[in-house]
Structure 1
Amino acid sequence: MATLTIRNLPEPVRRSLKERAAAHNRSMEAEVRAILEDSVAPRADFISRWVASTEPLRGDFELPERSPARSVELS
């Protein structure tokens, strides 16, 4: 495993990170690890997610019969 040192972290950021870690019931180190893992995890693009979400809607659909087109006078 690699080690990462972050220097000059602003105090408000450290404080927010500590609060976020406490809210998730984990250490600050574990919280940073989770944030980093989530930020670099591969994600399906929008189109792939949309297509996958429409899977339950797919089926056989019948188009209604169409009547003949009306004649149009262009005079």
Structure 2
Amino acid sequence: MAQLIVRNLDDDLVGRLKRRAADHGRSAEEEHRQILRAALRPGSLLDRLQEFPAVGEDADFEPVRDAQRELSW
């Protein structure tokens, strides 16, 4: 297997990676592998968008045009 060394990472980024790994019950190294696998898996943007769960109806996302708002200055 190949190895990958990533240099010059911000401490904050590494901290977030470690917290995310802990949340998933795995090492930071394994979390890094999972992130890379997910980011680089084959498939089109359409394929990935279709993986999102179906929530709401189309009408739920239509803008409200006639609503009047009270403005406070």
Aligned equivalent of 2:8:
8
Aligned equivalent of 1:26:
26
Which stretches of structure 1, 4 residues or longer, exceed 3 Å deviation after superposition? none
What's the TM-score, normalizing by structure 1? 0.58
1:20-49 deviation digits (Å, cap 9, x = unpaired): 0000000000000000000010125427x7
* Count of residue pairs brought into register by the alignment: 49
Runs (5+) with no aligned partner, structure 1 = 51-75
Runs (5+) with no aligned partner, structure 2 = 51-73
What's the TM-score, normalizing by structure 2? 0.60
Larger Rg: 1
Residue identity (%): 41
Could you say what secondary structure the match of 1:6 adopts? coil
